[in-house]
């Protein structure tokens, strides 16, 4: 007779759990972005712009604007046939200049062209949100998060060449 072995793995009850509201979530994500979600996005973005403009910007304000720029870039590349490339490029350059300013002076702030570029990009973001679904927005936010985990992300040209 064979000797019975003790099981090595502990039982994980969450591994095979059935998500009861998965169908409801899927249906909601397939719909266009709700007005409430748009308002929340807009409040965060405009709050970050205002804080940075007044000189009270923190790193999470920068992160909100950087994520907005990146999500608009990804949506433009994948859903809108690379529309608004120039505006997105100017906004990305403005974010790089803001990051460099933070490293140099330990404070976030816009230059004149950067402020205008970011304001224009926010208007583009608000317009794009009228034409995408919740699932698409989540897909691009997850793609951005994965790129950040990958490392070489949101670095200016000189930092990328040095790496």
What are the structural domain ranges in the chain?
37-145
At residue 163, does pLDDT exceed 70?
no
At residue 80, does pLDDT exceed 70?
yes
Encode the chain in three state secondary structure: CCCCCCCCCCCCCCCCCCCCCHHHHHHHHHCECCHHHHHHHHHHHHHHHHHHHCCCCCHHHHHHHHHHHHHHHHHHHHCCCCCCHHHHHHHHHHHHHHHHHHHHHCCCCCCHHHHHHHHHHHHHHHHHHCCCEHHHHHHHHHHHHHHHHHCCCCCCHHHHHHC
Quick one: pLDDT at residue 7? 67
* Residue range 116-146, pLDDT digits in tens: 999 999 999 999 988 888 888 888 888 888 8
Q: Which residue has the higher pLDDT, 156 or 24?
A: 24
**Distance of alpha carbon 2 from alpha carbon 157, whole angstroms:** 64
Quick one: pLDDT at residue 159? 57
Quick one: pLDDT at residue 147? 81
The CA-based dihedral angle spanning residues 146, 150, 152, 154, taken in that order and rounded to the nearest 10 degrees:
20
* Residue range 37-55, pLDDT digits in tens: 889 989 999 999 999 999 8
Mean pLDDT of the chain: 83
At residue 114, does pLDDT exceed 70?
yes
| Mean pLDDT across 73-95 | 91
Beta carbons of 120 and 149 less than 8 angstroms apart: no
């Amino acid at each position: 007779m064979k000797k019975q072995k003790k099981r090595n793995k502990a039982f994980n009850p969450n591994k095979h759990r059935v998500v009861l509201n998965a169908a409801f979530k899927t249906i909601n994500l397939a719909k266009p972005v709700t007005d409430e979600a748009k308002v929340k996005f807009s409040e965060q973005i405009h709050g970050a712009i205002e804080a940075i403009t007044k000189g009270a910007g923190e790193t999470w304000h920068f992160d909100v604007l950087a994520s907005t720029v990146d999500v608009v870039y990804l949506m433009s590349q994948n859903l809108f046939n690379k529309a608004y490339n120039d505006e997105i490029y100017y906004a990305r350059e403005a974010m790089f200049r803001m990051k460099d300013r933070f490293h140099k002076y330990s404070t976030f702030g816009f230059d004149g062209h950067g402020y205008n570029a970011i304001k224009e990009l926010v208007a583009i973001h608000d317009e794009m949100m009228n034409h995408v679904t919740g699932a698409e927005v989540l897909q691009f936010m997850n793609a951005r998060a994965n790129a950040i985990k990958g490392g070489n992300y949101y670095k200016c040209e000189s930092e990328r060449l040095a790496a």
